[in-house]
């Protein structure tokens, strides 16, 4: 949709941290960081042998590590903030290079400490955690140690780590290199153009159905030229992980889902229930996909429709929303939950902690970051006045609120798994979307909002399970032997059909090659956390009305616990539900069904009106 280019957001103020890369305070922080690293390095020899002196050294090192992490993160955030506004900022680029050295040193210096924590006896850990400054890390320590049965010997771990650089990680890098150099031949209008993957992917957001399909075909053709390399890569990555599972099974069997589930701080039973609920509600999700296709006047949902915008109905454009208006919309929607939430939004803007300018060298996308020393959040985006920008701002402010309510907690309790990371953001986004829907004055505005909801529903409830099912089948089959190109295509097509059913126009059989997530060498199953986060936050949102005025303090208490318990413990304590049982998840899906109904009713209304016009 065309937008008046005059609308933009404010620039952020970073001067509360450092006046610039030359600020002496920044150099002082780096010197202090170096001193902390040196002190820790001096203590390292005391970690062997593992006796009382080792425990005392580990406690000292843990405190040094916390302080060092804060300084390193603070300067890193500053460099990243400068670079996201101006990718060509020379000083920030140099600072980033310097920081790489510190990061490497940080990893090396604290490796012995982390091995001590993993390898220590239960008594030693009890004694280690008896220090009041170290005690808050209890959850982190115990959760990390839950997988200590998988540990190989120190020498073996170090060998694996060394070999993996040119082993599993090399395959990941090869994939990135192919993706970065890929040229797609796309039909644009009636001329064929050659363009890179990023630019071609941008066309998948075209409002023109044929354009999206052409872009999708071009991307798949480009990947087909590399299908043998991708096959070698995906087989090697899966094979490496399966071999590691085998090696790590000396004490008890290790499954390929153990690591991703643990990383997300959930259990296998929860994952199984989550996917079962998605499967039980396939018909609803497929209905949403079919309605999206119908809105474009066609019978089937194509793989190229995943990121399609709402169809344009014609009629008056709703016009751009100024940044100030956006802030008011968000503050009043947030304020419906509690006045503190509205005040938080206004504070973020007043303190100039939001970056929304338009600039030629700005990084794309939006994110929330924060300074570790002052524990103040920052929101980054490019604000151009579209309705989707308002939603993005609401989303990022949700992340900011999450970190803000945790600002007084010990460092070791302030990080949370990916499964809970989108809780506050999705919550904030949903609040504002509902407010916009209530205020909407045109069918197009309502369509835009409900369309986004349907896109999210089909992405999380159909596409994510498709990816999961493929990946699980891949790992299962790979246990026997490497798979051939055609087998991977068939396996992927089958997963698409299994989830999309009759709503699907055709499966995306090259998705195993075109989806980057299957080639991240550092982690596997980068899919189910999205489904978890989506349904968990909507489930929480659905409880807002039921809890009335009590809701906000309970919400804050829940957010504050995200860094010190598993998702199951969190849900039991704050929502009084079991994530291992389908009830909570099913209630959330039932609430979504009403949105699908609303979307269908709107479509019907638009279709009736259009027929009347003819
Ligand atoms: Zn987010």
- Going from the Cα of 367 to the center of ligand 1, the distance in angstroms, rounded, reads 7
pLDDT tens-digit profile of 570-592? 999 999 999 999 999 999 999 99
Check which CATH number belongs to the domain holding 267 and give it.
Answer: 1.10.1370.20
- Going from the Cα of 366 to the center of ligand 1, the distance in angstroms, rounded, reads 9
Q: 141 in a domain, yes or no?
A: yes
Instruction: Assess whether 260 and 159 both reside in one domain.
Output: no
Given 104, 133, 164, the domain boundary residue is 164
CA separation, residue 42 to residues 35, 131, 358, 458 (Å): 11, 21, 48, 54
Q: 583 in a domain, yes or no?
A: yes
Q: 344 in a domain, yes or no?
A: no
* 32 φ, ψ (degrees, to nearest 5): -65, -40
- Going from the Cα of 425 to the center of ligand 1, the distance in angstroms, rounded, reads 6
Q: What is residue 158's predicted lDDT score, i.e. its pLDDT?
A: 82
- Going from the Cα of 368 to the center of ligand 1, the distance in angstroms, rounded, reads 8
- Going from the Cα of 79 to the center of ligand 1, the distance in angstroms, rounded, reads 21
- Going from the Cα of 137 to the center of ligand 1, the distance in angstroms, rounded, reads 25
Instruction: Assess whether 604 and 461 both reside in one domain.
Output: yes
Q: What is residue 365's predicted lDDT score, i.e. its pLDDT?
A: 85
Q: What is residue 3's predicted lDDT score, i.e. its pLDDT?
A: 44
- Going from the Cα of 235 to the center of ligand 1, the distance in angstroms, rounded, reads 31
Contact criterion met (CB below 8 Å) for 86 and 95: no
Mean pLDDT of 483-511: 97
Q: What is residue 614's predicted lDDT score, i.e. its pLDDT?
A: 61
- Going from the Cα of 399 to the center of ligand 1, the distance in angstroms, rounded, reads 7
pLDDT tens-digit profile of 157-211? 889 988 998 999 999 999 999 998 999 999 998 899 999 998 899 899 999 999 9
- Going from the Cα of 393 to the center of ligand 1, the distance in angstroms, rounded, reads 10
Contact criterion met (CB below 8 Å) for 525 and 517: no
- Going from the Cα of 210 to the center of ligand 1, the distance in angstroms, rounded, reads 30
Instruction: Assess whether 467 and 571 both reside in one domain.
Output: yes
Distance CA 57, CA 373 (A): 25
Number of domains in the chain: 2
Q: What is residue 318's predicted lDDT score, i.e. its pLDDT?
A: 64
**% pLDDT > 90, the chain:** 85
pLDDT of residue 511 exceeding 60, the answer is yes
pLDDT tens-digit profile of 320-371? 899 999 999 999 999 999 999 999 999 999 999 999 999 888 888 899 999 9
Given 164, 199, 221, the domain boundary residue is 164
Q: What is residue 240's predicted lDDT score, i.e. its pLDDT?
A: 98
Report residue 38 as tokens: 């040196």
Q: What is residue 549's predicted lDDT score, i.e. its pLDDT?
A: 78
- Going from the Cα of 338 to the center of ligand 1, the distance in angstroms, rounded, reads 22
Among positive and negative, which fits the CA dihedral 28, 33, 36, 37? negative
Contacts of 111 (CB under 8 A, 6+ apart): none
Instruction: Assess whether 274 and 147 both reside in one domain.
Output: no
pLDDT tens-digit profile of 246-285? 999 999 999 999 999 999 999 999 999 999 999 999 999 9
- Going from the Cα of 202 to the center of ligand 1, the distance in angstroms, rounded, reads 20
pTM over 0.85: yes
Q: What is residue 408's predicted lDDT score, i.e. its pLDDT?
A: 97
- Going from the Cα of 389 to the center of ligand 1, the distance in angstroms, rounded, reads 14
Q: 32 in a domain, yes or no?
A: yes
Going by C-alpha positions, the residue among 169, 173, 17 that lies closest to residue 80 is 17
Going by C-alpha positions, the residue among 533, 564, 609, 525 that lies closest to residue 259 is 525
pLDDT of residue 117 exceeding 90, the answer is yes
- Going from the Cα of 484 to the center of ligand 1, the distance in angstroms, rounded, reads 36
pLDDT band, residue 314 (cuts 50/70/90)? low
pLDDT tens-digit profile of 591-603? 999 999 999 999 9
- Going from the Cα of 117 to the center of ligand 1, the distance in angstroms, rounded, reads 32
Domain of residue 112, residue span: 24-164
Q: What is the mean pLDDT of the chain?
A: 94
Distance CA 231, CA 280 (A): 32
- Going from the Cα of 252 to the center of ligand 1, the distance in angstroms, rounded, reads 36
Distance CA 214, CA 203 (A): 9
Contact criterion met (CB below 8 Å) for 496 and 463: no
Contacts of 591 (CB under 8 A, 6+ apart): 538, 542
Q: What is the DSSP string of 12-75?
A: P--TTT-SSTT-HHHHHHHHHHHHHHHHHHHHGGGGSS-SHHHHHHHHHHHHHHHHHHHHHHHH
Given 140, 164, 188, the domain boundary residue is 164
Q: What is residue 203's predicted lDDT score, i.e. its pLDDT?
A: 93
- Going from the Cα of 533 to the center of ligand 1, the distance in angstroms, rounded, reads 10
- Going from the Cα of 104 to the center of ligand 1, the distance in angstroms, rounded, reads 28
Q: Which residue has the higher pLDDT, 547 or 101?
A: 101
Instruction: Estimate the share of the chain in helix, then strand, then coil, as percent rounded to the nearest 5.
Output: 70, 5, 25
Q: What is residue 315's predicted lDDT score, i.e. its pLDDT?
A: 62
Q: 8 in a domain, yes or no?
A: no
- Going from the Cα of 422 to the center of ligand 1, the distance in angstroms, rounded, reads 5
Instruction: Assess whether 141 and 275 both reside in one domain.
Output: no
Q: 335 in a domain, yes or no?
A: no
What does the DSSP 8-state code read for residue 367?
E
Q: 338 in a domain, yes or no?
A: no
Note the helical H segments in 197-338. Answer: 197-202, 209-224, 227-247, 258-263, 268-280, 282-295, 323-335
Contact criterion met (CB below 8 Å) for 510 and 220: yes
Q: 121 in a domain, yes or no?
A: yes
- Going from the Cα of 451 to the center of ligand 1, the distance in angstroms, rounded, reads 19
pLDDT of residue 373 exceeding 70, the answer is yes
- Going from the Cα of 411 to the center of ligand 1, the distance in angstroms, rounded, reads 21
- Going from the Cα of 91 to the center of ligand 1, the distance in angstroms, rounded, reads 29
Distance CA 582, CA 566 (A): 18
Q: What is the DSSP string of 386-440?
A: -HHHHHHHHHHHHHHHHHHHTTTS-GGGS---HHHHTHHHHHHHHHHHHHHHHH-
Mean pLDDT of 444-448: 91
- Going from the Cα of 103 to the center of ligand 1, the distance in angstroms, rounded, reads 25
- Going from the Cα of 364 to the center of ligand 1, the distance in angstroms, rounded, reads 14
- Going from the Cα of 50 to the center of ligand 1, the distance in angstroms, rounded, reads 42
Check which CATH number belongs to the domain holding 101 and give it.
Answer: 1.20.140.70
């Amino acid at each position: 949709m065309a937008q008046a280019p005059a609308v933009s957001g404010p620039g952020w103020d970073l001067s509360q941290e450092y006046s610039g890369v030359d600020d002496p305070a920044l150099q002082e922080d780096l010197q202090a960081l170096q001193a902390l690293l040196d002190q820790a390095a001096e203590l390292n020899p005391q970690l062997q042998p593992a006796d009382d002196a080792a425990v005392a050294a580990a406690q000292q090192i843990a405190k040094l590590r916390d302080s060092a992490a804060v300084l390193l993160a603070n300067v890193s955030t500053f460099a990243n903030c400068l670079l996201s506004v101006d990718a060509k900022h020379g000083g920030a680029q140099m600072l980033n290079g310097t920081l790489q050295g510190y990061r490497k040193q940080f990893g090396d210096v604290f490796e012995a400490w982390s091995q001590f924590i993993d390898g220590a006896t239960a008594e030693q850990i009890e004694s280690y955690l008896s220090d009041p400054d170290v005690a808050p890390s209890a959850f982190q320590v115990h959760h990390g140690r839950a997988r200590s049965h998988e540990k190989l010997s120190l020498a073996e771990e170090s060998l694996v780590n060394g070999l993996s650089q040119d082993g599993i990680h090399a395959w990941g890098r090869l994939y990135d290199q192919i993706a970065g150099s890929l040229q797609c031949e796309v039909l644009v209008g009636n001329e064929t153009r050659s363009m890179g993957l990023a630019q071609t992917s941008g066309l998948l957001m075209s409002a023109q159905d044929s354009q999206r399909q052409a872009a999708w075909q071009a991307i798949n053709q480009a990947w087909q030229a590399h299908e043998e390399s991708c096959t070698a890569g995906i087989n090697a990555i899966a094979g490496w992980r399966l071999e590691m599972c085998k090696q790590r099974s000396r004490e008890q069997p290790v499954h390929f889902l153990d690591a991703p589930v643990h990383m997300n701080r959930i259990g296998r039973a929860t994952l199984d229930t989550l996917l079962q609920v998605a499967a039980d509600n396939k018909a609803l999700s497929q209905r949403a996909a079919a309605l999206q296709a119908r809105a474009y006047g066609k019978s089937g949902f194509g793989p190229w429709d995943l990121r399609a915008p709402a169809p344009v109905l014609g009629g008056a454009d709703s016009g751009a929303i100024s940044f100030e208006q956006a802030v008011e919309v968000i503050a009043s929607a947030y304020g419906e939950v509690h006045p503190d939430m509205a005040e938080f939004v206004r504070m973020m803007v007043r303190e100039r902690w939001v970056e929304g300018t338009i600039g030629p060298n700005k990084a794309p996308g939006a994110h929330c970051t924060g300074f570790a020393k002052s524990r103040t959040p920052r929101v980054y985006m490019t604000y151009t006045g579209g309705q989707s920008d308002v939603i993005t701002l609401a989303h990022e402010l949700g992340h900011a609120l999450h970190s803000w309510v945790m600002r007084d907690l010990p460092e070791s309790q302030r990080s949370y798994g990916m499964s809970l990371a989108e809780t506050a953001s999705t919550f904030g986004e949903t609040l504002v979307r509902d407010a916009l829907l209530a205020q909407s004055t045109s069918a197009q505005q309502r369509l835009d909002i409900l369309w986004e909801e349907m896109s999210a529903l089909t992405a999380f409830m159909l596409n994510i399970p498709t990816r999961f099912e493929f990946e699980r089948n891949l790992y299962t089959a790979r246990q026997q032997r490497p798979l051939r190109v055609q087998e991977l295509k068939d396996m992927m097509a089958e997963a698409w059909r299994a989830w999309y059913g009759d709503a699907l126009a055709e499966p995306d059989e090259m998705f195993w090659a075109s989806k980057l997530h299957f080639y991240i060498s550092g982690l596997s199953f980068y899919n189910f956390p999205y489904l978890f986060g989506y349904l968990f936050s909507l489930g929480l949102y659905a409880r807002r009305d039921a809890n009335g005025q009590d809701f906000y303090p309970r919400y804050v208490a829940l957010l504050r616990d995200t860094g010190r318990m598993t998702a199951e413990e969190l849900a039991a304590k704050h929502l009084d539900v079991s994530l291992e049982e389908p009830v909570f998840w099913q209630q959330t899906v039932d609430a979504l069904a009403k949105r699908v109904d609303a979307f269908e009713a709107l479509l019907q209304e638009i279709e009736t009106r259009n027929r009347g016009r003819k």
